[in-house]
Structure 1
Amino acid sequence: MRGKILAIVVASSLVVSCKVNPNAKNDLNYMQNIEQTAISASAKNSANTIQVGDQLIILITAKDMDVVKPFNQNYSSSELVQTNALAGGNTPNQGTVALSGPTYIVDANGDVDFPVLGKLNTSGKTMMEFKDEVKTRMTQYVINPTVNIKLANFKVTVLGEVNRQGDYVVSSGHATIWNALGLAGDLTQYGKRDDVLIIRTENGVVSHGRVNLQDANLINSPYYNLKQGDAVIVSANKVRDLTSKQNPNTTLYLTAASIAITAVAVVISLFKK
């Protein structure tokens, strides 16, 4: 009889202390096969084309700054356009980078209205291509001009099983999926690492793709380098699903039952003596 009671106590303790993880086979490590992966990510995947609504900071400089003043209308060096690298996160002032220069918004036709040069079309052009075009046009008026162009409102959204959901403005105008997840504080232990969804809107067309963070081949995915306005969505794994469906008092009940059985075993043991 005493042996049976002890067996029940041990079994109860195991039930309380051991949690079955149906997702245990999924390792939490990222890019597990990086050593065996041929990295062939092309520049095509990383080149972002300028989109309608983009805010472009365009600053023209030259040896004689007076010469380029007409191209930097309504701007002085004291003006700053600030972007927050952690907008939407828990530490809003961390990583703030100040960018300075006149700001132009790309209109519905893909144009920016630039001083002296007039309307400049950005449709289908990368930042580098547009920069080269502006510089070529500028050489008609200025000797050896320097053209600086930055995207002031490069924003990505990270939702789901991450530690800090929100919108994040990236001051450099370029981000990989790792940058976005880093800003969001990484995935929680319940995040599904082998099936992360990216939703993309480009030239008014919505597309989507999925990446496996455990597979180093994601480097070659067109969704590895994020684009303006991308949304990264991390789904919950099976552990989270089971936890959400479980009665929150289950563990409490099991613990109470274990204590009660242990107490009964102790009492019986004392009476046996």
Structure 2
Amino acid sequence: MRLLITVFFICSILFNLSSCSSKQYQSLFEQKSTNTIDTVSPKNNPAFIGYRIKPQDIIQIRNLQNISYIVDAAPSTSASGGGATGGSGQTYQVEEDGSVALPVIGHVNIAGLTRPQAAKLVEDLYRKSLLKDPIIELKITNLKVTLLGELTSQGSFPLIKDKTTLVEMIGQAGGLTKNANETNIKIIRGDQLNPQVTLINLRDIQSINDPRAILQSGDIVYVSQNKRSVRNENLQNISAVSQPALLLLNTALLILSFSRR
């Protein structure tokens, strides 16, 4: 009997350890405060207003009318201060003073402007000094969102388009996996001292028009496992633990039965 009690004691310890490891995995990005955003009007949403250019941002500029005026014929590898030629335009880094050095027109202060505002400013300056009817395309290439959890692809994805929605970004990542909990998708934004968590339910058709689901640079999107997946994972853990435990129990019973003969 002592041997049986010992075997059951060992099995219970292994079961508890397995349950704890599964619970720790599920507690990733768990909400522990009251920072959840319930309502955000489009007027107060920075993503709706438009991202404003900051120092150290990388912008890409090209003239759709005549690309040779913005992009050098010979490729360059430098991206700091001056420009670097990319496959679809010339890239420039915004300096600490908020200006960017552009060919012919020199330093232009664009910090604090939205992407359309900066594009119009550059377009007007080139029209006055050099180009006839330019059409300037300006992109901010260093903006990104991090996707984690139950998605086909995880990692950092660029925010090239204005007002990129959660659904669009999930589509870029290849969609949700079969284990995803689509009713409780977390968008985490803000600094480390005061993070804000927005919960989006993709089962609700109204989530498509939800202004909170418009992503901002630096956002973290986390898709957790659904209950079915968690249950299946727990069952697998129990099975993995119970099989050697049952084998040990059978061995103990055999030893006990032979010892009584």
The CA deviation string for residues 46-71 of structure 1, in whole angstroms up to 9 with x for no partner, is 45313434321112465696xx4xxx
Please report how far the alpha carbon of residue 160 of structure 1 lies from its aligned counterpart in structure 2 after TM superposition: 1.0
The CA deviation string for residues 231-256 of structure 1, in whole angstroms up to 9 with x for no partner, is 211122223333343353539979xx
Larger helix share, 1 or 2? 2
* Equivalent of residue 59 in structure 1, options 62, 86, 89: 62
Instruction: Tell me the distance in 2 between the aligned counterparts of 1:182 and 1:248.
Output: 32
| Aligned amino acid, residue 134 of structure 1 | V
TM-score by length of 2: 0.58
* Equivalent of residue 48 in structure 1, options 47, 50, 59: 50
Instruction: Tell me the distance in 2 between the aligned counterparts of 1:183 and 1:63.
Output: 31
* 1:135 aligns to 2:123 (yes or no): yes
Local SS of the residue matching 1:234 = strand
Q: Map of 1:12-51 to 2, 5 A cutoff?
A: 45-51=47-53
* Poorly superposed stretches of 4+, deviation over 6 Å: 40-44, 251-254
Q: Map of 1:252-271 to 2, 5 A cutoff?
A: none
Higher relative contact order (CA 8 A, sep 6+): 1
Please report how far the alpha carbon of residue 128 of structure 1 lies from its aligned counterpart in structure 2 after TM superposition: 0.9
Uncovered stretches (5+) of structure 1, i.e. residues with no partner: 1-39, 82-97, 258-273
* 1:103 aligns to 2:91 (yes or no): yes
Instruction: Tell me the distance in 1 between the aligned counterparts of 2:173 and 2:64.
Output: 36
| Aligned amino acid, residue 150 of structure 2 | E
Aligned-residue Cα RMSD (Å) equals 3.8
Aligned pairs, how many?
Answer: 191
TM-score by length of 1: 0.56
Which residue of the partner structure matches residue 126 of structure 1?
114
Instruction: Indicate if the aligned counterparts of 1:152 and 1:171 stay in contact, CA closer than 8 A.
Output: yes
Please report how far the alpha carbon of residue 158 of structure 1 lies from its aligned counterpart in structure 2 after TM superposition: 0.9
Which residue of the partner structure matches residue 25 of structure 1?
none
CA distance 1:198–1:145, change in 2 (3 Å): same
* Equivalent of residue 147 in structure 1, options 117, 125, 136: 136
Instruction: Indicate if the aligned counterparts of 1:154 and 1:173 stay in contact, CA closer than 8 A.
Output: no
Please report how far the alpha carbon of residue 105 of structure 1 lies from its aligned counterpart in structure 2 after TM superposition: 1.9
Please report how far the alpha carbon of residue 141 of structure 1 lies from its aligned counterpart in structure 2 after TM superposition: 0.7
Local SS of the residue matching 1:158 = strand
Local SS of the residue matching 1:139 = helix
Instruction: Tell me the distance in 2 between the aligned counterparts of 1:41 and 1:219.
Output: 14
Instruction: Tell me the distance in 2 between the aligned counterparts of 1:252 and 1:44.
Output: 50
CA distance 1:110–1:138, change in 2 (3 Å): same
* 1:239 aligns to 2:228 (yes or no): yes
Instruction: Indicate if the aligned counterparts of 1:158 and 1:165 stay in contact, CA closer than 8 A.
Output: yes
Please report how far the alpha carbon of residue 79 of structure 1 lies from its aligned counterpart in structure 2 after TM superposition: 4.0
